Chain A
């Protein structure tokens, strides 16, 4: 029996099969089409939609998304092609002949208007009471096409119950227009496989296995579906009301940590072009809103590098020198809670490979309610700890029962970039106009290494900058131009790098020198590392490891659940496209390069915390208690 193992999604939802010619100058490489009586030359196989874009003609779309394969189901993008009886979906029609296209005939306009009318007839709710008001693709279309009444009626009762079971994602299927972007995101883009179309005909709806609540199925909370939902059918679980209450309560000491990715993206929520970091403006805004302290998550990102790097060295020593077969290698990063839950569900037999280090958010959580509380004389019970994250999975992570090592819930609320922007607007603040200010002590401003955690490859780059200096004694700048480890940067799904450690050595700094009896065994060794972002790529790497392939030989692998890393997280501004992710990454790397301090171990506040608080050093008893965690073998079966 023949089969199609190379791709999973049904062909009805597959990318076009016509390969674009590599040589456009060859005969047949390009083709001339007529769009609204204007001639346009396009590469063979270009979709009508792209050809129109090239010709400066805008075509409305709904089910189409640049990150996803073609569905062709909403039909809003239909156009007339001369000689064809029916209208053609421009997103799904590859041009292979010199066709004549008309994009705005009365038939086309009427069809689009009908389609909007039909969607509105089944789309429950009113715009003014909707979280996506002002940023809803259906609303925009209704406006563009001058919809001023409900031609075919409007549902007055919700058809489906809202699923609020998940800490991260709320599903309100009465607002769903069945564009299937979430299905394609979940099954193709992320290969998680939680959402699918259920039922047929009028009864079709998007749901989970056995229609279980989201909290009961193998959802990893990555929130990528939220970022691609054109309406508010999928949204994040928003804790801002509780946070306002805490801010208003004079007895509460409300602190917030901010991650690098929201700072590089929140500008988009204020109408600015993507790619401007508003880190210090945000600090001021948060203070004005009423947060008592604003901390930089990059501090604990730096701390993560020390803890996770130390853990790696211990693992390598035990495995390579001690020949200890119980040590699991490669070591996996554990900063991405979506990735952690993915591994717990899909590859529970590899949980020992996962670094026991908590994510920066959770490290910060336990330090705030212990170290900071002590130092500043605040009762940890009165502290409300908020984390501004680009991520919906962080909401789940802070609610994991084991995340209470401070004796309290380490992090009280995870807040997304979108929710933060809403709070800032609600407070009447125009973020881009804010004066700049620094992060609060005792954690202060952190290093550029912590900052680049926001982009795929960032954790690895930060780790390399530190490990290489620790071990070889040479400066990272001497090995990598400007200390930029470019091989792990960029948006390739899977990146691989080998770093020869050379023969010159040490001295290894005191912080970790005591961990192993000698360091000779690292002489001449080559560190093999890899980076994967998006769980679909993570799956490829994991399957390769299972099969004993090249990645099983790695020592350290960075995994991020979201495409592009945290900057493409499920809590980031909508829309998120490949272009926007690129700009956010540029903002992050530019900020890193502008900093003096670019290596985690050079962060003076890191040195200080090991001197003052975690006095036994990294991976010691206290650091294990506060900064490390354990994982749950979840598996795939839900009954």
Chain B
């Protein structure tokens, strides 16, 4: 990371710490904000968060590794999470998965070359009455058909 980028990151994290408070209990909100804005929590950011909250970097890393929605490696602009739990599964998750994979040219767990899409499975999204369902970043889409899913993917900006 360049010095300029590092400085910008530090400034950003300092603002977050000011917003949420310099306690360990602020850790998740801070990480969630970094995750939302950068689609990952870079190594340097983890150490800065640790410094400002007076905890160890490995504790920050440990927390990130625990939660499915936080990650250290870079992901695409749009993180597509298809629900894999049983009711979505029996309502045709597999066909949606194939359609999305075909459309994006990647398999689950991968990111497109242009860094636009990352494809993942998620556990129950709480849309069991309207499955199959998927999240794209924070937005939920339900009652999917393969055609509808592809159309939604093409439509996100």
Partner of A198, one of B21, B46, B61: B61
| B51 / chain A contacts, CB cutoff of 8 Å | 636
Question: Does B18 count as interface, using CB distance less than 8 angstroms?
Answer: no
* Cβ-defined contact, B72 with A198, below 8 A: no
**How many contacts between A and B, using CB within 8 angstroms?**
59
Given the interface pairs A198-B65, A199-B66, A210-B72, the reply to whether A1 lies near B23 with Cβ below 8 Å is yes
Q: Are A210 and B55 touching (Cβ within 8 A)? A: no
Question: Is there an interface contact between B58 and A209, defined as CB atoms closer than 8 Å?
Answer: yes
| Binary A-proximity of B114-149 (CB < 8 A = 1, otherwise 0) | 000000000000000000000000000000000000
B21-A195 in contact (CB<8A): no
Contact of B25 among A3, A208, A210, A639 (CB under 8 A): A3
Q: Kindly identify which residue among B21, B26, B62, B72 contacts A196, using a CB–CB cutoff of 8 Å.
A: B62
Question: How far does the alpha carbon of A200 sit from the alpha carbon of B123 in the complex, in Å?
Answer: 14
* Other-chain residue from B23, B43, B66, B68 in contact with A210 (beta carbon distance below 8 A): B43
Out of A1, A3, A194, A637, name the residue touching B58 (CB < 8 Å).
A194
Residue of A nearest to B72 (CB): A210
**Chain A 183-222 residues near chain B, CB threshold 8 A:** 187, 193-200, 207-210, 217
Q: A199-B66, A636-B51, A639-B44 are in contact. Are A1 and B21 (CB under 8 A)?
A: yes
Q: Which residues of B contact A3 (CB under 8 A)?
A: 21, 23-25
Question: A552 CB to closest chain B CB, in angstroms?
Answer: 20
A187 engages B57 (CB within 8 Å): no
A203 nearest in chain B by CB position: B65
A8 at the interface (CB under 8 A from B): yes
Q: Roughly how many angstroms separate A638 CA and B11 CA in the complex, as a whole number? A: 20
Q: How far is the CB of B42 from chain A (nearest CB, A)?
A: 9
| Complexed CA–CA distance, A197 and B67 (Å) | 13
- Give 1 or 0 for each of B57-90: 1 = CB within 8 Å of chain A CB: 1110110011110001000000000000000000
Residue pair A639, B47 in contact (C-beta under 8 Å): yes
Give CA–CA (A639, B47) in the complex, Å: 9
Q: Which of B25, B56, B59, B67 contacts A1 (CB 8 A)?
A: B25
> Which residues of A lie under 8 Å from residue B68 when comparing CB positions?
200
Cβ contacts under 8 Å, B72 to chain A: 210
> Given A200-B65, A210-B43, do A193 and B58 touch, yes or no (CB 8 Å)?
yes
CB <8 Å contact, B61 and A209: yes
CA distance A532 to B61 in the complex (A): 30
For A217, the closest partner residue in chain B by CB is B58
B26: chain A residues within 8 A (beta carbon): 1
Min CB distance B110 to A, Å, is: 19
Residue of B nearest to A200 (CB): B66
Q: Is the CB of B66 within 8 A of A187?
A: no
Q: Which residues of A are found within 8 Å of B65, using beta-carbon distances?
A: 198-200
B130 CB to nearest A CB, Å: 27
Please, what's the 1-or-0 string for A159-202, where 1 marks a CB less than 8 Å from any CB in chain B?
Answer: 00000000000000000000000000001000001111111100
Least distance between A428 CB and chain B CB atoms (Å) = 44
Chain B nearest CB from A10 CB (Å) reads 9
Nearest opposing residue in chain A for B56, CB measure: A193
A and B contact pairs by CB, cutoff 8 A, 13 listed: A3-B21, A3-B23, A4-B24, A187-B56, A193-B55, A193-B58, A195-B58, A196-B59, A200-B68, A209-B46, A638-B47, A639-B43, A639-B47
A-B contacts besides A3-B25, A193-B55, 12 pairs, CB < 8 Å? A1-B21, A4-B24, A193-B59, A194-B56, A196-B56, A197-B66, A198-B62, A199-B65, A200-B65, A209-B56, A209-B61, A639-B47
Instruction: List the 3 shortest-distance A-B pairs measured between CB atoms, nearest first.
Output: A193-B56, A196-B62, A3-B23
